[in-house]
Amino acid sequence: MKVEVSNLKKYFGSTRAVDDVSFSFASGQVVGFVGPNGAGKTTTMRILATLDEPTAGQATIDGVSVIEDPERARQLVGYVPDSLPTHRDISVHEYLDFFARAYGLKSLKRRQTVDSVEEFTNLSGIRDKMLVALSKGMKQRVTLARALLHDPPVLIMDEPAAGLDPRARIELRELLRVLSGQGKAILISSHILTELAEICHGAVIIEHGKILMAGGIGDLLSDSVPRRTVLIRVLGRQEELHRELLQTPHIESARLNGEEVAAEVSGTDEACAELLAAVIARGYRVVEFKQQRANLEEIFMNVTKGVVQ
């Protein structure tokens, strides 16, 4: 199972909402779709969910084109939009039963599916509660449950964590981990980048309709930040180490923070390993040597300009 987006374009008049976007991801992968407001995330996701038609380009799910064969593609996609259900006078169970019917599930199979999805999303206890009476977190779970009713191999989730409290966010993160473990391919957009970094295998950073960066989280971190910050704590001789580091090749800068020396190392993990070996060889008693990793937020800030269309 592979989701492939190639040279996707969507123009609204002279506005290029999505401009030649290409990326792909596979079963079991969670991919973060990151970008400022108006970057083209929702438009791309709506195209993948068969709700919009691109101006040009192609998007396929397991080889099925969402453009040429939307009916078949719909069977493969579960879509979680950025808004919560607003239906009045309907309980959680009735709401899910309605969508199970809408997906064409029949009698016993429908009942079993709704029950199991309720159980998976931890909704069994509140299945008879009215939808409008639910908290945002509960509603988000209902939305996720609705998207899972037809057991799609691909989930497209547009800002699912928006407005959720920390507990609900953690619960959602756990559900996504389980779903990814079940082999579902998940494309998720969110503004809460620290959370994305924790669950995502890869990320696509988009701005002004164009992809700025895409790849595995590890690759992105190394690609976007060519320098690494290494924190070294030694027993005594900190000032001496600081001076020595300033004269060492691959070290761009170094500063003394109390008992710790922070060094900016240019190069790969190899350079860091060599630095550690050199520090030990010079007789320093190393207590701690750690690499301070850049996070997704930092990458995002580095590569985007905050341009909104």
Helix orientation angle between 136-148 and 107-120, rounded to the nearest 10 degrees? 140
Among 146, 169, 228, 250, contact with other proteins (rule: CB under 8 A): 146
> Is 13 or 283 the residue whose CB approaches other proteins more closely?
13
Report which of 60, 84, 81 is spatially closest to residue 142, judged by C-alpha positions. 84
Among 18, 31, 34, 77, contact with other proteins (rule: CB under 8 A): 77
Report which of 174, 218, 165 is spatially closest to residue 192, judged by C-alpha positions. 165
Among 57, 137, 160, 209, contact with other proteins (rule: CB under 8 A): 57
Among 5, 45, 49, 200, contact with other proteins (rule: CB under 8 A): 49
Judged by CB under 8 A, the stretch of 62-70, 133-141, 253-261, 297-305 that binds other proteins is 62-70
- The answer to the question of residue 288 lying near other proteins (CB under 8 A) is no
CB 2 within 8 A of CB 23: no
Which residues between 89 and 118 bind other proteins (CB under 8 A)? Answer: 89-90, 94, 98-99, 101-104, 106-108
- How far the first Cα of the chain sits from its last, in Å, is 33
> Is 150 or 184 the residue whose CB approaches other proteins more closely?
150
Binding site residues, other proteins, CB under 8 A? 9, 11, 13, 46, 49-58, 65, 67-68, 70-71, 74, 77, 79, 81-83, 85-90, 94, 98-99, 101-104, 106-108, 130, 146, 150
